[in-house]
Structure 1
Amino acid sequence: MTVPPDDRVFRREMASAYRSGWHFVDLVTAIPHRGDSLRVTLFGEPVVVAREQDEDVRAYRCLRRPRGAPQPIRCAVRYGMIFVNLDQRDHRLIEPETLSATPRSA
């Protein structure tokens, strides 16, 4: 007989295995105009993705604390798709730049 996992253990596994890294949210066409926004829930956390007045797409974590301002999170647009990263560590979505292939003098 197996015992169901404890809720704390489940949340810890979700945080370590699934939250880190970049996650697809939606296509950029979902928020075509300035001021448009999209609300999604990623791993139990509400996230608002908005097209700002300067046409940039930004994402914010909605805090549940009283008087808490939305916390900005990393957001990237690649190939017409919106990706967000809930983790605070640095996970790069783009490929690292290659070093120039200049020969070294001896």
Structure 2
Amino acid sequence: MTVPEDPRFRREMATAYRSGWHFIDLVTAVPHRGDSLMVTLLGEPVVINRGDDEEIRAYRCLRRPRGAPQPVRCAIRYGMIFVNLDQRDHQLVEPQTTTATPRSA
């Protein structure tokens, strides 16, 4: 299959594919605390890391000087690691907490 060289087509395809969950590897690829795995997904370097708390997290590697890694949504299902690079999914909404005030009678 040949891919057209048109930059508009490439942007459109990247947007379409970026919005879904992508299989990275099995959980056994990062078995111990501190282990990491670097992959390139849709042209972006992504680091998968197992932290000291045994949780697996994913980070997008920024190319800017002194840029901090940007967290990426990561899910573990059936022993497999999936990530989602879509920025729209990263808008985490904090739940509204309502504090009950006693009514005076």
TM-score, normalised with respect to structure 2: 0.77
**2:85 maps to what in 1?**
86
> SS of the residue aligned with 2:16?
helix
Percent identity between the aligned chains? 82
> SS of the residue aligned with 1:16?
helix
- The equivalences for 1:1-106 within 5 A come to 4-6=4-6, 8-90=7-89
Partners of 2:5 and 2:39 in 1: how far apart?
26
Structure 1 position 73, deviation (Å): 0.6
Q: Greater CA deviation, 30-39 or 15-24?
A: 15-24
Moved over 6 A (4+): none
> SS of the residue aligned with 1:25?
strand
> SS of the residue aligned with 1:90?
helix
> SS of the residue aligned with 2:89?
coil
Structure 1 position 39, deviation (Å): 0.3
Structure 1 gap segments, 5+ residues each: 92-106
Structure 1 position 90, deviation (Å): 3.1
TM-score, normalised with respect to structure 1: 0.76
Aligned residues: 87
